[in-house]
Structure 1
Amino acid sequence: MNPTDRDAACFEAGIKFGALYHQFAGTPVSPESAASLETAIEESIENQPFCEDVRVEILTEKLDAEIDDASAGSYTELTGRFMEVEIAVEHEGVEVHTRMEMEDGYPLMKIESVEE
């Protein structure tokens, strides 16, 4: 059986999340640099084919708490627990809306909706 346009659109959304997470996890980030890093992530992922929209929110209050708990430094490494992400992909007339947020201590990436 050949993949449907719906299958391909969902696959493309997964590719975007894989690229986003593994490209930027570990990036040094502070509350002061969060906004510019959000923009860099969004613009980087939006360059990929079929990507319609990317929204990244780095949770600065969680960064503050992490940095306050650290023994040294004024930054921490970016991980899924410090981000909420939404990605929209359009492929062959199928639009997929996805989201990443923490669930049970894990940065879960999931499909919110598929519109044909």
Structure 2
Amino acid sequence: MSDAPTDAQQACFEAGIKFGSLYHQFAGTPVSPASTDSLETAMAEAIGNQPHCEWVSVDILDDRVADAIDHDEGYAELTGSLMEVEMRIDYEGTAVRTRMTMEEGYPRMRLVAIEN
């Protein structure tokens, strides 16, 4: 029989759930430089509704969105390469800070710190 997860392990798990939800729920959403602010807010508020989520910051990078538009319709599809995300998840008094940024062409979701 294995031991129960620690609060830190559970907090990390919760952060992973939030990142998976954020990324896969919103990937492919049409976005233009004019709509980044409202999409950032919608994403942060949607993920912020989940249990143990203390705060979420979504930054959709307007310059990358503009560069990604490759047709006359004026929008691109949202991908990890167009945004940076930070979260703080608090589980039973143990908080984890996480970040998603591009690393070598891939959106990496990383644990930044565990805070007790």
- TM-score category, normalised to shorter length: over 0.9
Gaps of 5+ in 2: none
Percent of aligned positions that are identical: 57
In 2, the alpha carbon distance for the partners of 1:57 and 1:35 equals: 8
Counterpart amino acid of residue 108 in structure 1: R
Counterpart amino acid of residue 25 in structure 1: A
User: Between Structure 1 and Structure 2, how many residues are aligned?
Assistant: 114
* CA RMSD after TM alignment: 0.7
Q: How does 1:7-22 map to 2 (within 5 A)?
A: 7-22=9-24
Counterpart amino acid of residue 82 in structure 1: L
In 2, the alpha carbon distance for the partners of 1:15 and 1:46 equals: 12
Q: 2:88 corresponds to which residue?
A: 88
Counterpart amino acid of residue 97 in structure 1: R
TM-score by length of 1: 0.96
SS state at 1:21 partner: helix
Q: 2:112 corresponds to which residue?
A: 112
In 2, the alpha carbon distance for the partners of 1:71 and 1:101 equals: 26
SS state at 1:6 partner: helix
1:7-35 deviation digits (Å, cap 9, x = unpaired): 10000001000000000000000000000
In 2, the alpha carbon distance for the partners of 1:21 and 1:83 equals: 10
Pairwise CA distance, 1:62 = 0.7
Q: 1:41 corresponds to which residue?
A: 43
In 1, the alpha carbon distance for the partners of 2:17 and 2:31 equals: 24
SS state at 1:74 partner: coil
1:55-104 deviation digits (Å, cap 9, x = unpaired): 0000000111112xx13320010000000000100001100000000001
Gaps of 5+ in 1: none
